[in-house]
Amino acid sequence: MTRSHRRSGEFALIDWIRKRQSPSKRVRVGIGDDAAAIDVTKDSAAIISTDALIDGTHFDTGVHSPRLIGRKALACSLSDMAAMGCEPTVFVAAVALPRSATMGFCKDFCRGLEDMMGEFGVELIGGDVTTGDTPLVVTVTVLGRPKDRPPVKRGGARVGDTVMVTGTLGGSLRGKHLTFAPRVAEGLILNRDFRVRAMIDVSDGLAADLEHVAKESGVRIVLDAERIPISRAAKDAADGDAARGLRHALSDGEDFELAFTLSRTQAKRLEHLQPFDCGVAAIGEVVAGTGVRIRQTDGSLARLSHTGYEHGLSR
């Protein structure tokens, strides 16, 4: 089974679970977004997101340092908070340790968490440690709050919006997936200074993640192949083959950049101001329809599937 087949099975399960819930009024944002939002009091909300990382899938204890693994465990959850345009405040961590884990390994892992805590001003407030016949599994649940404005959901994209993305994409397995900077500050600025309508962090790959935005918003997203910012790592991985570089940028996971939509006017203002060190680029538009399409340089539309581009989809 390929990774994307597995992922679609996971999404089908989440859909099934979601349909069985009937969220009460206190749930402002429920299942199906980067984080949930609940009422704490009449006029304050808590934002909550959780992520589980498994040895052999999201990191490799045989290769990666425990410190980088700890860093990534927290960074992934912070990225989800960034995608809501909200401020992370505290987190809890549940760790399942294999019997082989040493005290030194665990302390270095905690130092990795601390690296992120210092950088993003978040506090560890509890958790759980268990040992058993298991690979290392780390589950981080981060809590946050809206700062200036309500959380940005995936479902707000409108026909006519411009699609934009921070940073560059692709090839994160070459290192970025462990060392990436969650775009927390960028998410907050986007939510405060721009009318961002829908936002997601790029965890499964740009095309796959924007499928969620398209689905939740009831729109189609058309990406311009020539405007996708391809990372150095993706270009290196593609060995000079431009089409392969683009494919890496569209489908590699774990870039942890922010992809979002906003009106054409707002997008022009953001593109002009360029407020972020990581850069921000317009990469496509929102139209009527469903799904995500890639506009090739010859003008034709293609869909990115797990086997490559599917052509002849111009309608």
Q: Would you tell me which residues interact with Mg ion (CB under 5 A)?
A: 34, 80, 201, 203
**Nearest distance in Å: CB 209, Mg ion:** 7
Separation between Cα atoms, residue 80 and residue 205, nearest integer Å: 14
Work out how close the CB of 83 gets to Mg ion at its nearest, in angstroms, rounded to a whole number.
Answer: 5
The answer to whether the beta carbons of residues 306 and 8 sit under 8 Å apart is: no
Question: Quick one: 17 or 242, whose CB is closer to Mg ion?
Answer: 17
Paired tokens of 53: 């990382």
Quick one: three-class SS letters along 198-263? Answer: EEEECCCCHHHHHHHHHHHHCCEEEEEHHHCCECHHHHHHHCCCHHHHHHHHHHCCCCCCEEEEEC
Q: Which of 263, 154, 266, 262 is nearest to 217 (CA)?
A: 154
By beta-carbon proximity to Mg ion, the closer residue of 34 and 87 is 34
CB of 183 to Mg ion, least distance (A): 11
By beta-carbon proximity to Mg ion, the closer residue of 34 and 254 is: 34
- Other C-beta atoms lying within 10 Å of the C-beta of residue 295: 18
Q: How far is the CB of 278 from Mg ion (least distance, A)?
A: 17
Name the residue number minimizing CB distance to Mg ion: 34
Both tokens of 298, joined, read 């010859």
CB of 212 to Mg ion, least distance (A): 9
Helix (H, G, I), strand (E, B) or coil at 228: coil
- 50 versus 89: smaller Cβ distance to Mg ion: 50
CA distance 47 to 37: 4
Q: Based on CB atoms, which residue is closest to Mg ion, 55 or 80?
A: 80
**46 vs 301, which CB is nearer to Mg ion?**
46
Pairing of strands 87-98, 198-201: unpaired
Minimum Å distance from CB 251 to Mg ion?
A: 16
d(CA 248, CA 127): 36
